[in-house]
Amino acid sequence: MHRTLALCLAFAAVAHSQAPMPDRPAFEVASVKPHPPSPGPLRASAGIGPAGIDFTNVALKGCIRSAYGVETWRISGGPDWLASERYDIVAKAASAAPKAQLMRMLQTLLEDRFQLKVHRETQEVPVYALVVGKSGLKIHAGKENGETEVGGAGHLINSRGMTLKQLAGFLSQMTQSSGRPVLDMTGIAGVFDITLDAAPDDAAAAGDNSGPDLFTALQQQLGLKLEPRKSPLEVLVVDRAEKPAAN
């Protein structure tokens, strides 16, 4: 009896060790081709629907951002062409799938076609800390579930019910060219009515002096300031990426 039991246990152990690993989610068909050079301003699109994806003139860095759900500034490492080489990517799922599943399929596609290898780690990165200025906060409490409008009524921000964390997220979009995201370090909770008038970066670069720069506007109008600091944040590190063969 003991011999029989031992054989059964041994067989079960072998069967368990040989059990197939779950398949990685993948598109049923996919095409990756270099985007042909074209004159004029850069035009790109990233269509995502239940049946799959249709990306035109996209960089691998943008694909990584979508596939892994990270901001561009959180992507570190990789070859120089990560942001410069452009591709057309069309991929179809076997059946309709939610966006989260499609993005896991996109991860598999990038691993297979671009030999992409990534890992996550915490690094000290340059940031802007959103803090209260010396003159004190100049904004008033707002209502929960208020309306936030970007570029509304002639203002850069026209909000009725915005948290300072949400404000920091919006400001990050304006400072992304500097490579420094904005983090809310005010320690202040609640929602506020916020109206901000400032000249966008592209307007300042073009010599448009129609409004104060972002740093000046924040201090004068909201009583807030941006301080350059370093902060530990999780980033996605690109360990390996290779240009794919056209198909």
Please list the alpha-helical segments (H only) found in 69-162. Answer: 99-113
User: Are the C-beta atoms of 117 and 173 separated by less than 8 Å?
Assistant: no
Q: Are residues 75 and 150 in the same domain?
A: no
Q: Which of 55, 87, 114 is the last residue of a domain?
A: 114
- Name the token pair of 131: 């803090």
- Per residue of the chain (247 residues), give pLDDT as tens: 455 444 444 434 444 433 334 578 999 999 999 998 888 788 889 999 999 999 999 999 999 999 999 988 889 999 999 999 999 999 999 999 999 999 999 999 999 999 999 999 999 999 999 999 998 999 988 877 656 555 555 688 888 888 999 999 889 888 877 888 999 999 999 999 899 998 765 444 445 556 789 999 999 999 999 999 999 999 999 999 999 986 6
Q: Are residues 131 and 162 in the same domain?
A: yes
> Residue 184: inside a domain, yes or no?
yes
Q: Are residues 108 and 202 in the same domain?
A: no
User: Are the C-beta atoms of 180 and 168 separated by less than 8 Å?
Assistant: no
Q: Are residues 99 and 135 in the same domain?
A: no
> Residue 5: inside a domain, yes or no?
no
What pLDDT is recorded for position 221? 95
How many degrees, rounded to 5, is the angle at CA 147 between CA 145 and CA 152?
170
Range of the domain at 208: 123-234
Q: Are residues 55 and 148 in the same domain?
A: no
How many degrees, rounded to 5, is the angle at CA 177 between CA 171 and CA 181?
45
The two most distant CA atoms of the chain are separated, in Å, by 91
What pLDDT is recorded for position 210? 60
